[in-house]
Amino acid sequence: MATVLTFGVYDMLHIGHILLFKRAKELGDKLIVAVQDGDYIQKYKPGTSMVYSTEERVYMVSSIRFVDEVVVYKDVDVDIRKIDFDIFAKGGDQCHAGFQRATKGCEEQGKKVVTIPRTEGISSTMLRDYSKTR
């Protein structure tokens, strides 16, 4: 049984996230989604405007049929070592230093890393920009 793990904020949940979960679930038998802690986001990106609390985002993500388990994380490259999984599924835009270290750590441990392409035409940034014009 292969367990797949993916990470994200998921504050402005959209079809791209749902498709990420669907594609990630297709890679294995169980999908764990790690949702980033809102307090941690505020600590490192002060003034970031969050729509939903950590608890609300966990609830929304856990309600999606492709998701088997939801955990809360702070640092991807630190917390990835605390979770038992076989395949690390990441979005094509998840390339900052923390994700690079997490990817390298997975590869060193013989875990499979799969990059799932973005869904064209949708992003959280687009939704934020759109909501500002309304």
Residue with tokens 């679930």: 25
Q: Which entry of 45, 82, 104, 111 is annotated as an active-site residue?
A: 45
43, 74, 82, 111: which is the annotated catalytic residue? 43
Classified as helix, coil or strand, 133 is helix
Alpha helix positions (H), 34-81: 38-44, 54-62, 76-79
CA 43 to chain centre: 19
CB 84 within 8 A of CB 69: no
Catalytic, 90? Answer no
Helix (H) or strand (E) holding 27: none
22 is catalytic: no
Q: Could you list the active site residues?
A: 43, 45
